[in-house]
A and B are shown apart, each in its own frame.
Chain A
Amino acid sequence: MTALRVWLGDPNPASRRQARLGQLWLAWRRIRRNRLAMAGLVIVAVLLVVAAFAPWIAPHDPLVQDLSRRLLPPGTPGNLLGTDDFGRDILSRIIFGARITLYIIALVAVTAPVLGLLIGTVAGYFGGWVDATLMRLTDIFLAFPRLILALALVAVLGPGIENAVLAIALTAWPPYARVARAETLTVRSSDYIAAIRLQGASAARIIAGHVVPMCLPSVIIRVTLDMAGVILIAAGLGFLGLGVLPPTPEWGLMISSGRKFLFEQWWVATMPGLAIFIVSLGFNLLGDGLRDVLDPRSASR
């Protein structure tokens, strides 16, 4: 363990891999000092573990109905968080719902920021009419209310998890494009970009290898902070019946179905609501912590 620590902290790394891992190690040490960020990281890690091992953790099958045991309150033996109107175990449904939530988050996280980064860096780097065209396009997308645009897309494409993800991704990229462009504008006129241009590098190489790494921290921070919003929009689409289709155990859908009994059997809607709340909080705390670690302005130059 100590040998590994010495290897990671070596001021004179012997290989590219060691240099990169050493930097990661330093970032990890900075984030470990931030208690709230660690709390966020733990919540996200728990979400990952729960989603990965859902069939082994869940006490019941999330889809099996038992009408003799419907709407049982929390704390009932065998149904820790109670049952819903079809007698399905709420805890099991939340546990399996973590998979769907994570699936949506993962798909949005690999599509929207990539698209936003590409558009933002290209617009910022080239400037002129390229910039004007791309940024007006971004403005048009930004001008739409996010949920409404997602609703319209899902209404056209039909409900379903992939279409929900597509709708969210298409409405989520403009802020990333803005962040990436702003970052690109500060980087573009710097000496290190002038130097690489003078070495004869192509625009594609400069953008991919030199501009994007400078934009990445801001975008990653935005992504983690937006994850809470993505979960909420996915839940909102589910709630409106335009996202995931029943009987899939999706958190927003569960809240929607619990609405009917909100006053008598409050737990049916509250338990998935709490799950959404905790996971959103986790991502927000992690995002805040990452900002402290990754922000290029706070890091040493």
Chain B
Amino acid sequence: MSFIEIDNLTVTFRAQGREVRAVEGVSLSVDERESYGLVGESGSGKSTILRAICGMAPVSGGSIRIAGKVLPAQRGRAFSADVQMVFQDPYASLHPRHTIDRTLSEPLAIHGMPDRDARVVQALVDVGLPPAFRFRYPHQLSGGQRQRVAIARALMLKPRILLLDEPTSALDASVQAEVLNLLSRLREEQGLTFLMVSHDLAVIDHMCDRIMVLQHGRTVEEISRDDLAKANMNTPYARSLFEASADRMLGSTTEPAR
């Protein structure tokens, strides 16, 4: 049995009498400590799957199980301690009027954890930020530094699963590589399971063991990393996605995306 099991998931948004099916019958399973990628163009439903796991999207069919247990309708604190998310835009995901210290210590306060000072400093060190940044405000940090803070925040509760919603797409190329390397290192150190969304196959290729290609909310194809490296796809859509980013990927499977 897999760690994350999504079975026949359907998400339907209703607005002004119209129904939009953002995700239709998607099934996937992720093993513990695996890194799983969701790829597709804008509107393919990949971010919606992450939001559905967090209870932020209206699930209209199918089931989501984590460690064999079906998620309760209200996700609750136990879920928070298990699953955390890193958002796409580091400029929007940190509270502009809270210091880094407040942002990082708040989850500890919510869950009543001791040694907050020590944990906050340790979290900053873990993501490669100097402890002197602790009382800065987000507007005093660069985009890459903010995303490191967002990653640190997601890891404050020592979750087992990290959902990554295009964690590097708002950053410029050199910072992208740093953040991706940081994520790989943290996964290794803390034994995390990644479920990662990206539209960039180069990023996914660097990070993920298995990939699912999505289009219009449906599964197109599931590809293993080896098949991706050999450009071994079955469907024309997956191939066209691959070709769009092939020049940045070939021969760089061990190196980060530029």
Interface residues of A (CB under 8 A from B): 11-16, 18-19, 23, 190-192, 194-202, 205, 209-210, 213-214, 296, 299-301
Contact = CB atoms under 8 A, between A and B. Distances in A.
B135 A19 contact: yes
Given A13-B135, A16-B135, A19-B137, A190 B110 contact: no
Contacts of B239: none
B116 to A, nearest CB: 12
A301 B139 contact: yes
B97 interface: yes
Contacts of B140: 11
A301 B135 contact: no
A200 B110 contact: yes
Interface residues of B, number: 40
B210 interface: no
A80 B137 CA distance: 53
Closest 6 CB pairs of A and B: A200-B80, A191-B93, A19-B135, A12-B132, A13-B135, A200-B77
Contacts, number: 86
Given A192-B94, A205-B110, A198 B54 contact: yes
Given A199-B110, A201-B106, A213-B97, A194 B133 contact: no
B66 interface: no
A12 B89 contact: no
A15 B135 contact: yes
Interface string B31-57: 000000000000000000000001010
Contacts of A16: 99, 101-102, 135
Given A191-B93, A195-B153, A18 B137 contact: no
A175 to B, nearest CB: 23
A11 B137 CA distance: 10
A210 B76 CA distance: 19
Contacts of B80: 198-200
B106 A209 contact: yes
Contacts of B79: 200
B253 to A, nearest CB: 31
Most buried by B among A192, A196, A213: A192
B123 interface: no
Contacts of B87: 191, 194-195
Nearest to A209: B106
A300 B95 contact: no
A201 B93 contact: no
B131 to A, nearest CB: 9
A51 B75 CA distance: 55
